[in-house]
Structure 1
Amino acid sequence: MSKFYIDKIGIDITNLQDALEKIIYFIDNKKFGYICVTNSRTVHLANHDDDYLKIQNKALLTVPDGVPLVWIARNLGYKSVDRVSGPDLFPAVLELSKSKKYSHYFYGSTPNTIAKIEEKMKRNYPSLEVKGAVSPPFQPIADFDIDALAVEINRLKPTFFWCGLGAPKQEQLMALLQPKLESTICVGVGLVFEYFAGTVSRAPVIIQKLGLEWLHRLLQQPVKMIRFIKPFMWISVNLFQSFFNKNNPIY
Structure 2
Amino acid sequence: IWASKFLGQEKLRGRVTGLDLLPQYIERCYQRNFSMFFLGAAEGVAQRFKEQLEEKYPGIQVVGVYSRPYANEFSGEENQKMIDIINAANPDILWVSLTAPKQDYWIQQNYPQLNSSINIGIGAALDVAVGKFNRAPIWMQKSGLEWFYRFIKEPKRLFRRYFIEAPTFIPIIIKQKILEK
Q: TM-score, normalised by structure 2?
A: 0.79
Q: Does 1:215 align with 2:148?
A: yes
Percent of aligned pairs sharing the same letter: 27
Q: Which has the higher contact order (CA 8 A, sep 6+)?
A: 1
Shift of 1:241: 8.0
Q: One-letter code of the match for 1:73?
A: S
Which residue in 1 is equivalent to 2:61?
129
Amino acid at match of 2:112: P
Select the residue among 105, 113, 119 that pairs with 2:51: 119
| Counterpart in the other structure of 1:153 | 86
**Which letter does structure 2 place at the counterpart of 1:229?**
F
Indicate whether 1:194 and 2:127 are aligned: yes
**8 Å contact kept, 2:40–2:97:** yes
1:154-175 residue CA offsets vs partner (Å, 9 max, x unmatched)? 3322121112221343234323
Distance in 1 between residues matched to 2:79 and 2:60, nearest whole Å: 26
> What letter is aligned with 2:15?
R
2: CA distance between counterparts of 1:189 and 1:206?
21
The one of 4, 8, 30 aligned to 1:76: 8
* Distance of aligned partners of 1:85 and 1:236 in 2 relative to their CA distance in 1, 3 Å threshold: same
**Pair 169,77 (structure 1): closer, same or farther in 2 beyond 3 Å:** closer
Judge conservation of contact 2:94–2:116 (CA < 8 Å) in 1: no
Measure, in 2, the Cα distance between the counterparts of 1:225 and 1:156. 33
Closer, same or farther: CA 110–183 of 1 in aligned 2, 3 Å: closer
Alpha-carbon shift at residue 240 of structure 1 (Å)? 7.5
Q: What is the CA deviation profile of residues 99-131 of structure 1, one whole-angstrom value per residue up to 9, with x for unaligned ones? A: 322221111122332232122112223342101
Question: Any gaps of 5 or more consecutive residues in structure 1?
Answer: 1-69
Q: Give the aligned residue type for 1:230.
A: I
Query: TM-score if structure 1 supplies the norm length?
Result: 0.60
Aligned to 1:229: 163
Question: 2: distance between equivalents of 1:144 and 1:216?
Answer: 35
User: How far does the alpha carbon of each residue in 1:56-75 deviate from its partner, in whole angstroms, 9 at most, with x for none?
Assistant: xxxxxxxxxxxxxx233355
Whether 2:100 is the aligned partner of 1:163: answer no
After the TM superposition, list the runs of 4 or more consecutive aligned residues in structure 1 that deviate by more than 4 angstroms. Answer: 231-242
More helix by proportion, 1 or 2? 2
Aligned-pair distance for 1:143? 4.2
1:95 to partner: Cα distance:
2.0
DSSP 3-state at the match of 2:120: strand
Aligned residues: 178
Q: Which piece of structure 1 moves more, 74-83 or 160-169?
A: 74-83
- Judged with a 3 Å threshold, the aligned counterparts in structure 2 of structure 1 residues 146 and 237 are, in CA distance, closer, same or farther, namely closer
d(CA) in 2 for partners of 1:168 and 1:72? 17
| Aligned mates of 1:239, 1:95 — CA distance in 2 | 38
Using the alignment, how far apart are the partners of 2:121 and 2:157 within structure 1?
19
Q: Among 114, 120, 124, which residue is 1:181 paired with?
A: 114
Partner of 2:18: 86
- C-alpha distance in 2 between matches for 1:198 and 1:92: 18
8 Å Cα contact 1:141-1:173 kept in structure 2 = no
Q: Is the 8 A contact 1:106 1:133 kept in 2?
A: yes
SS at match of 1:211: coil
